[in-house]
Structure 1
Amino acid sequence: MAELTIQITSTGEIPVMGLSGELDAYHAPRVKAELEELLASGKKTVVVNLKRVAYIDSTGLGVLVAARKQVLDAGGALLLVILSESAVQRTFTITGLLGVFSIFEEEAAALDAAAS
C-alpha cells in the first residue's frame, strides 16, 4: 500500500489540497478530516489536486462526493485537478462522476475558475 501525502497551500482565499499516493479506504479518513477542517474554518471553495494520485477507490470517491455536497450547500465549489488518461480519470469515468465534478487538467485553470 502506497502512503498518501497531503499538502495544503493557499492561493489568495482558495485553499489547494494536493494529494500524492493512493486515496483508498485506509487513507480516505485523513483526507475527509482535512477537508472538514478547511470547511469548518470558513472556506467555501476548495481545489483538490489529484494529479499525483495513482489510485482512488470507492471510499476515496465517497469522501470527495460528500465534500462536494457540503461545499455546494455552503454556496461554494469543489474543483478537482486530474490528469487525462490517468487511472483516476478512468475511475471517475466508469463511475459516472466525471460529469458531476468540475474537473481541470491544470491547477491554474481550476484556481481561475474558482476565482470567477
Structure 2
Amino acid sequence: METWTIKTPDDTRWAVIALSGEFDLYAVRRLREPITTLIEDNGPWIALDLSQVWFIDTTAVGMLVRLVHHLRAGDGDLALVAPRGQVRRILRWTNLTCLFPVFDSLSDMLGDPATR
C-alpha cells in the first residue's frame, strides 16, 4: 500500500481510512498499529475507503475478516467503500460482499440513515 489517510467526518460515528495502492501483506503489517489506535481513540466503527486500491491479496482479505469480527464483538462494524476492479472481484468471488456493508461511495455510506 502506498498511503493511507484517516479522517472522521462530522456527525457520524465512523472513522474513515482511505487506502491507496496495493492492500497486501506489507500494508497489513503497516496498518495494524494505526487501526488499533484508531479503535482505542474513536471506537469500533471503521470504514475503509478502497476507491484507490487496485490490488488486494489473501493476507488483506484475512485481515478484513478478523477486523470485522473484532469490531462487531465491540458493538461496532466495518464498512467497505468503493471497492473497484480486482478488489471488488475478489470480494465477490470469496462471497465477502455478504459479510460487510459495501457502499459505492463515501457519500452513499454517510447518507444512509442505517449507518449514522
**Bin of the TM-score, shorter chain as denominator length:** 0.7 to 0.9
Instruction: Give 4+ residue runs of structure 1 displaced > 3 Å after superposition.
Output: none
Q: Which runs of 5+ in 1 are unaligned?
A: none
TM value normalised by structure 1: 0.88
What's the secondary structure of 1:52's corresponding residue?
strand
1:55-86 residue CA offsets vs partner (Å, 9 max, x unmatched): 000111111111111110111111111245x1
Asked whether the 8 Å contact 1:83–1:105 carries over to 2, the reply is yes
Residue of structure 2 equivalent to 1:65: 65
What residue identity is the alignment partner of 1:72? R
Alpha-carbon RMSD across the aligned residues, in angstroms, is 1.5
Cα distance in 2, alignment partners of residues 24 and 30 from structure 1: 10
The Cα shift of 1:36 comes to: 1.4
Query: How many residues are treated as equivalent by the alignment?
Result: 112
TM value normalised by structure 2: 0.88
Cα distance in 2, alignment partners of residues 52 and 46 from structure 1: 17
Q: Which runs of 5+ in 2 are unaligned?
A: none
Tell me whether 1:10 sits opposite 2:8 in the alignment. Answer: yes
Q: Give the helix-richer structure, 1 or 2.
A: 2
Cα distance in 1, alignment partners of residues 91 and 32 from structure 2: 18
What's the secondary structure of 1:101's corresponding residue?
coil
> What fraction of aligned residue pairs are identical, expressed as a percent?
27
Tell me whether 1:50 sits opposite 2:28 in the alignment. Answer: no
